[in-house]
Structure 1
Amino acid sequence: MTGMPIFNGHGAERPPLTIYLAAPRGFCAGVDRAIQIVELALAKFGAPVYVRHEIVHNRYVVEGLTAKGAIFVEELDEIPDTGAPVIFSAHGVPKAVPAAASLRRMFYLDATCPLVSKVHVEAERHYEQGREILLIGHAGHPEVVGTTGQLPEGSVHLIETAEDAARFSPRNPERLAYITQTTLSVDDTKDIVTVLRQRFPAMVGPHKDDICYATTNRQDAVKKIAPACERVIVVGSPNSSNSLRLVEVAERAGCPRAMLVGRASDIDWNAFTNIRSLGITAGASAPEILVDEIIDAFKVRFDAKVEIVTTASEDIAFKLPRELREAPAA
């Protein structure tokens, strides 16, 4: 019967809520490929399969792969002498890592995102052409560690903020190049590059933006929904750079409060009292099942309707390593 109050199963009336679901969201092609590499390696070679660093920054994904037989380590010296495959994470590794694996005759598979590999190639090209290299990124992030580790120590200078860009003193301002971490805030990076270009007009940049298509698309989608939302939830893990950037983007775009949520059980319901509009997106390493779980949790407490807001479509896929494309051994 229309007009009747809707209850949440505990006798309380469910208030109305519009959920704006950002699209695109969640897994990008690089993350999807990395997870496939672990799953296919387990299927082809059997457990265990060793993975250096979290394959992608999401606890749910890592726990799921662990249950299937993947063993996650931070360094190669944690791996016993074994014929089992060793997989490098999507974030990329310094050159010293595959070199050390080769010395130990390890069978390794590289799950580095091809867009991160593109940045590695750019860095090497600039170095070979005698340029001093600036890397815009976050200290300690595995992608930054991997990119810096493509070249001799001291070849790459990390620039984290516009203030760093204003202070940097090059050896030769005519021989500069910059590259970026792929998961940065598009707007923050633009501000940093603006400062650098004003100071060093001859500085060389990427032929095509280093920030990956998925990072850009997810940030654009959040900018679209944020002004209409009283709250925005970004589904993702606290060590996921692109997820943290989505929280910042949502608040800058006009949402009063955005927050990172790992899964439905992590929701602080006190933060959602009396709201009528909610935005939901997911970082590039967060699976859709966690988004569905959170929407279902809101539907228990609210009379929620979901509106999908699409700003781009994605159909990119990356090739798997040759060893996994071949037919499995008999």
Structure 2
Amino acid sequence: MSYKRYYLFIFLILGIISLVQPASAEEEKNIYEERLSLYKKTEALTQIPWYYIAAIDQYERQVQKGLEDDQLISIKIPEELWYGIGNSSQKKDTQIINLFSGKGKDGNDDKLADPNDPEDILYTMANLILEYGQTEEDIRIGIWNYYKRDLAVHTIKNTAKVFKKFQDINLTDRDFPVAINYNYSYRNTWGDRRGFGGNRIHEGTDIFADYGTPVKSTTYGVVELKGWNLYGGWRIGIRDIYNIYHYYAHLSGYEDEVKVGQIVKPGDILGSVGSTGYGPPGTSGKFPPHLHYGMYKDNGYSEWSFDPYPYLKKWERMARNK
């Protein structure tokens, strides 16, 4: 075989391998860049800040079922709202949609309002919000009138705050919830029985460590709750940009700057390991010091606990490889 034929053969083999490999990190980065470009274009057309548009899309990405991993835009506006009641043939012509009082808009000047076109979807959603005004308060009122759910408004507002602060939507870093240079141990304790306060299941993983071991944020998010709880003692709740609530309990104390409404990122210190809880404020020492770490998912209708252990194992590996 000649050198030319040999190198051609190698080139073809490498090309075939590239076709069957899963999406690369570069491809994943590109979809974030494409989304951000669309959000900013919609902002230019409507003056609705891009980070609110991005936060709405992010919220829908978490609550919609059956989405493809590489779906560019996840917002799905109900057909009767898009086309208008009476437009049974679902004509996409903007004049016909307007005739039937539909809300679908043309975001790319092709004279059509297509509920499967990313630009049309974002432009339409932004205009639904614009019906209530352009101020921050107007935007939140518009979001509430669309979703009719306080938690949806709260989640979208906080996600928008995170996107605005970091000027990015590709926020995929994570960290382990206790400092890995300290001694600690844990196993899967989610679902175990608990007796204090009546029979109930354990909604988290216990990470045992010495008093004072730093407790860290695992994710990008906003501090939603801080204070005493009968079961959890001194605790903190953070809602992240994936509509997941992260619950840290039994702390011995808080980092000085931590407050409700604060934006956090992976690795930010929240407080330290303790053994508080199972009694009135200040109760401590009824069990060995540990961090109770719980995760709760919201699907747009209800919120439930799920097992954090597999995520902790993954984030622990990520932290050790930094």
Q: TM-score, normalised by structure 1?
A: 0.26
Q: TM-score, normalised by structure 2?
A: 0.27
Q: Which has the higher contact order (CA 8 A, sep 6+)?
A: 1
